[in-house]
């Protein structure tokens, strides 16, 4: 919002301290959106939403619109309370290798040391249980990122943008990927690429997005200090930071700017990533193999490809007296000045960074 000069000051300082260049998309309020400008689909629901939620949705649509209008091959969208670790660049390099692997198409995983482990994500406690029509799997398939390293980072660092839609890198918790069919084996759609012994990852007891939220399933599925990369078909919450390709920006702008919109933006995006574009009527009856194959072909052609990471690389910073203009997650606001998930937070160490201090003197929010 133009009125939130406090947010702009902090964001500009954080970006400058990290040698990053950013541009601003000015946020708007729900009062500035006439009813006629709301998408026709689900309009009755969108009119019931708080004006802050309506303004947030339109601000994100304006960002997507700018990406499409400028024909950018890809861009990262940050919310104005975003935070990141001072060691962001090595984190992004690992992400790049993972994203290239996950976005390059079907993989023959039989030649890799894939490990099958129990999935601790329970349907009754998962905040992403309704994001996908596919059930939460009982097992997970893990593969060390070090076993798949090798692609070039020169031409398309995060994978060819023609092959992916969203890289969801800042969120308030993500579900593990849902296999397209129950009982399916390891594939690029449900593999977890693991980065063990990552010094930027807090201990499991700190892996929670919000004081009111549950601990992440990652805390018990993998050893401490493990970061995982996977498809975002299990849903995610909070659009703290996400990259979109030109392909993804066009698809999202059409879906939620032109066609329909009726819920808070992060829920819409999470369900979109968890869904598919298979046409109505293509779902086969029991035993109809031909229709099943046709549906699979259609999903391959228009597949929604979202990649995410746990814990997130970017997270919400909770500043002193800096409550959201939109609403409180879980029915309340965080009162402690902190950033979940980030150990050497840029915003928590902003004074030291402006002073020119190195990481060795910075405060670790979540020490071992």
Report the pLDDT value the prediction gives residue 69, as an integer from 0 to 100: 98
Instruction: State the burial class of residue 1 (Cβ atoms within 10 Å of its Cβ: 0-12, 13-18, 19+).
Output: middle
Task: Give the pLDDT of residue 210.
Answer: 82
Higher pLDDT, 358 or 126: 358
Helix (H) or strand (E) run with residue 103 in it: helix 88-103
CA 201 to chain centre: 17
Average pLDDT over residues 315-336: 67
The number of folded domains in the chain is 1
Residues 6+ apart with CB under 8 A from 368: 203
Domain assignment present for 327: yes
pLDDT digits (tens, 9 = 90+) for 218-249: 999 999 999 999 999 988 999 999 999 999 99
In a domain, 296, yes or no: no
161 close to 246: Cβ distance less than 8 angstroms: yes
Q: Strand 191-195 vs strand 139-144: parallel, antiparallel, or unpaired?
A: parallel
* 354 part of a folded domain: yes
Confidence of residue 31 (pLDDT cuts 50, 70, 90): very high
Report if residue 292 sits inside a domain: no
* CA dist., res. 190 & res. 213, Å (int): 25
Is residue 192 domain-resident? no
Confidence category of residue 183, pLDDT binned at 50, 70, 90: low
pLDDT mean over 183-190 = 82
Check the CA dihedral 273-274-280-281 and report its sign: positive
Residue 233 lies in a domain: yes
Percentage of the chain surpassing pLDDT 90? 67
Q: Which residue has the higher pLDDT, 198 or 107?
A: 198
Domain, as residue range, for 250: 1-181+197-278+302-367
Return the pLDDT at 287: 44
The whole-angstrom separation of Cα 159 and Cα 155 is 9
DSSP, residue by residue, 296-356: HHHHHHT---EEEEES-SEEEEE-TT---SS--GGGS---S-EETT-SSBTTTTHHHHHHT
Return the structure tokens found at 262. Answer: 């009726």
What is the pLDDT confidence band of residue 327, given thresholds at 50, 70 and 90? Answer: low
For residue 181, the model assigns a pLDDT of: 61
Q: Is residue 237 part of a domain?
A: yes
Q: What is the pLDDT of residue 133?
A: 77
Residue 290 lies in a domain: no
Q: Where are the beta strands (DSSP E) in the chain?
A: 74-78, 82-84, 115-118, 139-144, 166-170, 191-195, 227-231, 241-245, 306-310, 314-318, 338-339
CA 291: distance to chain centroid? 32
Q: What is the model's pLDDT at position 284?
A: 39
Overall average pLDDT of the 203-220 stretch: 90
pLDDT tens digits for 146-171?
A: 998 766 666 789 999 999 999 999 99
Q: Give Dmax (Cα) for the chain.
A: 68
For residues 228, 136, 178 and 67, what is the CA-based torsion angle, rounded to 10 degrees? Answer: -80
Q: Which residue has the higher pLDDT, 271 or 293?
A: 271
**Mutual orientation of helices 51-69 and 246-253 as an angle, nearest 10°?**
140
DSSP 267: H
């Amino acid at each position: 919002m133009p009125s939130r000069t406090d947010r702009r000051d902090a964001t500009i300082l954080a970006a400058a301290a990290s040698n990053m260049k950013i541009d601003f998309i000015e946020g708007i309020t729900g009062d500035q959106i006439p009813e006629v400008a709301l998408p026709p689909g689900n309009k009755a629901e969108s009119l019931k939403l708080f004006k802050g939620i309506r303004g947030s949705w339109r601000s994100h649509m304006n960002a997507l619109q700018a990406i499409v209008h400028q024909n950018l091959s890809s861009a990262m969208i940050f919310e104005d309370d975003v935070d990141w670790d001072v060691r962001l660049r090595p984190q992004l390099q690992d992400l790049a290798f993972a994203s290239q692997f996950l976005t390059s198409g079907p993989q023959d995983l039989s030649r890799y040391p894939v490990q099958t482990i129990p999935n601790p994500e329970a349907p009754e406690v998962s905040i992403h249980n309704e994001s996908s029509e596919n059930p939460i799997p009982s097992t997970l398939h893990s593969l060390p990122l070090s076993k798949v390293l090798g692609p070039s980072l020169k031409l398309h660092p995060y994978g060819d943008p023609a092959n992916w839609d969203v890289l969801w890198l800042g969120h308030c918790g993500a579900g593990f990927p849902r296999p397209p069919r129950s009982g399916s084996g390891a594939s690029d759609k449900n593999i977890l690429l693991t980065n063990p012994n990552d010094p930027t990852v807090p201990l499991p007891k700190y892996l929670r997005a919000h004081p009111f939220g549950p601990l992440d399933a990652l805390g018990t599925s993998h050893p401490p200090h493990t970061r995982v990369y996977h498809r975002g078909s299990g849903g995610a919450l909070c659009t703290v930071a996400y990259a979109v390709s030109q392909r993804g920006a066009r698809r999202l702008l059409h879906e939620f700017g032109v066609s329909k919109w009726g819920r808070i933006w992060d829920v819409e995006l999470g369900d979109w990533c968890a869904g598919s574009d298979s046409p109505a009527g293509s779902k086969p009856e029991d035993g109809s193999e031909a229709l099943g194959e046709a549906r699979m072909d259609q999903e391959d052609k228009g597949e929604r490809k979202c990649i995410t990471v746990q814990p997130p690389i970017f997270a919400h910073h909770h500043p002193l007296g800096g409550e959201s203009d939109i609403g409180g997650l879980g029915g309340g606001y965080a009162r402690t000045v902190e950033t979940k998930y980030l150990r050497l937070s840029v915003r928590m160490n902003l004074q030291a960074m402006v002073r020119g201090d190195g990481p060795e003197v910075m405060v670790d929010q979540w020490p071992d």
